[in-house]
C-alpha cells in the first residue's frame, strides 16, 4: 500500500514570497490533515478536510494561509506572503473516517 506522498521535501524562500505544498493521501482515505511542526515543538493542526469539505481550520492563519482539496483527493497548502515564523515542517496525514492517521514525510520550509 502506497503511503502519504508530499512534495517538495525541502523549500527555501525569502520572506514575503509565496509557496505551495502538495499532498497525495492514501487511496480511499476520506480525511486529510495538515499539521505545522515548528522546530522543537509537537505538530499543530492547521486544517482538516473530510472529503473536500473543511472540518476544522480554527488554527489556520487565514490572512496568509490557504488550503484546498479538489475532488476530495489531493490537497495543496499555500502561504502568501511568507513570514520568518512560518519556517517549520509541514506534515500531511490521512485517515479513513475516524481511523488511524498515516503521516507523510513532511516538507521542511525555511523562510529567510
Partner 1 sequence: AQTVTQSQPEMSVQEAETVTLSCTYDTSENNYYLFWYKQPPSRQMILVIRQEAYKQQNATENRFSVNFQKAAKSFSLKISDSQLGDTAMYFCAFTFQGAQKLVFGQGTRLTINP
Lay out the site mask for partner 1 across 43-82 (x = CB under 8 A, - = otherwise). xxx--x------xx--------------------------
Q: How far apart are CA 84 and CA 48, in angstroms?
A: 24
Q: Which of 8, 7, 17, 75 is nearest to 46 (CA)?
A: 75
Contacts 24+ apart (CB under 8 A), 64-71: 67/34, 69/32
Least Å distance, CB 14 to partner 1, is 23
User: In degrees rounded to 5, what are phi and psi of residue 4?
Assistant: -75, 130
Stretch of 12-20, 66-74, 76-84, 99-107 contacting partner 1, by CB under 8 A: 99-107
Residues in the chain: 112
Q: By CB under 8 A, is residue 109 in contact with partner 1?
A: no
Q: By CB under 8 A, is residue 100 in contact with partner 1?
A: yes
Q: Which is nearer to partner 1, 81 or 105 (CB)?
A: 105
Least Å distance, CB 81 to partner 1, is 25
Query: Reduced to 3 states, what is the DSSP secondary structure of residue 84?
Result: helix
Q: Which is nearer to partner 1, 40 or 63 (CB)?
A: 40
Q: By CB under 8 A, is residue 93 in contact with partner 1?
A: yes
Amino acid at each position: 500500500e502506497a503511503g502519504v506522498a508530499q512534495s517538495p521535501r525541502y523549500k527555501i524562500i525569502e520572506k514575503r514570497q509565496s509557496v505551495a505544498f502538495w499532498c497525495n493521501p492514501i487511496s480511499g482515505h476520506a480525511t486529510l490533515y495538515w499539521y505545522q511542526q515548528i522546530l522543537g515543538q509537537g505538530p499543530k493542526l492547521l486544517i482538516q478536510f473530510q472529503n473536500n469539505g473543511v472540518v476544522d481550520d480554527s488554527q489556520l492563519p487565514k490572512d496568509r494561509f490557504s488550503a484546498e482539496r479538489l475532488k476530495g483527493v489531493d490537497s495543496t497548502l499555500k502561504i502568501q506572503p511568507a513570514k520568518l515564523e512560518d519556517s517549520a515542517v509541514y506534515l500531511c496525514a490521512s485517515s479513513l473516517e475516524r481511523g488511524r492517521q498515516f503521516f507523510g514525510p513532511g516538507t521542511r520550509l525555511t523562510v529567510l
